[in-house]
Amino acid sequence: MSFVIHVALLSGRQTSLTALTAETTVQELKQRAQQALHVTIASLSGTGGLLQPLLTLSEAGVCSGDTLHAICCLATMASSRRSCAFALIRDGSVVTWGGSRDWCSSTLKEQLKEVVEVRANMAAFAALRCDGSVVCWGSKASGGDASAVQHKLRNVRQIRATAHAFAALLADGSVVTWGDGGNGGDSRKVEDRLAGVRSIRGSSSAFAALCADGQVVTWGNARQGGDSKKVQDELRDVVQIRATFGAFAALRGDGRVVAWGSHLHGGSVPLPSVSSSRLALCDVRQLRGSDFAFAALRKDGRVVAWGSPSHGGETGRVQDQLMDVRQIRSSLGAFAALRADGTVVSWGHAHYGGDSSAAQGQLREVRLLRPSGFAFAALRADGSVVTWGNRAHGGDSRAVQPQLTGVVEIRGSSSAFAAMCEDGRLVTWGNQATGGDSSAVQKELAERSADT
């Protein structure tokens, strides 16, 4: 059954989106609304409040004909736990810092207009514009140059990245890839199967595409999840895919999970055992992946993890605390779970933020968690921020704590954090080389803020 959903701005301007289904996710709906309205949307709100982006329209209680309200943000930030830089989008234009300062030339900045989304890999960025076109910059070998496929990059709906390549999902359900071929940048071998694609996920060097019929198509480094032949018969009625460094996990409609790829990175689902105290991997509603392990959030609010035991694949010491979990986030080697009461539980390698004991006294009334590669940041209801993990890579925010007030959003790179405040201020900390120092762009940000 085809859905029609109306999305309205506070100004009264609205758009009607068609060709949706009950299985369309809130995130996919938001991306389409952004392109149609030419704005950056922070979240969508229905009659019951804010809609969680990972839920399908059916799960969120959205019916065909409903009108949702779009909450816009003044600026959004882009980075990832493997990226060495940040990009900030404000009014459709882009400012970058960290990594190589010559990434974004003056000529390129002229092209970076009406941007609605930016994706980052280890050495390049790809920006999606509201007209569905794509602008890239950074290392050519890593996808910073899309000239070979530029003529195909039209009506793009979604961009995803591996460590050194990008994949773009087009409006017609086809896929375009570029960057390092061994990292998923060459999809020619599966091109005939890449039809009706609904979403894409990337490991370090492979991609997995979820098709509208619930089937999965993979390509890239076979050892890192690019070959799913051994589990292909199990990959049916898939509703969600997540990745670690070298593996993928797929959530099926029946709540069960299928994994493939490197065994060292969670590519094997744990087998049930009568003698084991491990919770059953069933009735799952959400998946998360660090670089070394997966964590599954069950419908009852409990958590099941697998993969490298020392990097989040074992929850033994905190299993009893993992109840009423509402959100899970992952660094490169640890997990943090936000519970319904606003408290936080973390596990995994301490070097990556797996030990939050020193910060537990402050981890109250938390409403949002964000990771860097080696640490976590928690945004509290009063707009303050609590951090823990590797001190040199974002886990120590003491130097900027007086500035961390009225925070509305946080993003993490490989080893730094950036916080956006309600008054438009940008506060950064962590490794200076990977975005922890934004002094070089603060003047430009202030000028743009004054113009808005």
Sign of CA dihedral 80, 86, 91, 92: negative
Asked whether the predicted pLDDT for residue 101 surpasses 70, the reply is: no
pLDDT, average across residues 137-152 = 94
Average pLDDT, the chain: 90
CATH 3.10.20.90 fits 3-71, yes or no: yes
Judge whether residue 41 has pLDDT over 90. Answer: no
CB 58 within 8 A of CB 417: no
- The CA distance from 100 to 263, in Å, is 34
Give residue 275's pLDDT: 39
pTM score above 0.85: no
Domain boundaries, the chain: 3-71
Q: Are strands 3-8 and 67-72 parallel, antiparallel or unpaired?
A: parallel
CA-CA distance, 82 to 161, in Å (whole number)?
A: 10
CA dist., res. 430 & res. 15, Å (int) = 41
- As a whole-number percent, the residues of the chain with pLDDT over 70 amount to 92
pLDDT at 277: 52
pLDDT of residue 94: 80
Q: Which residue in 124, 9, 118, 131 sits closest to 73, CA to CA? A: 9
CA–chain centroid gap for 336, Å, is 15
Residue 419 tokens read as 């916080």
Identify which of 171, 170, 256, 175 has the alpha carbon closest to the alpha carbon of residue 219.
175
Q: What is the mean pLDDT of residues 325-350?
A: 97
Find, among 331, 272, 328, the residue nearest to 298 by Cα: 328
Q: CA-CA distance, 27 to 410, in Å (whole number)?
A: 18
- Give residues with Cβ within 8 angstroms of 392, minimum separation 6: 415, 430, 431
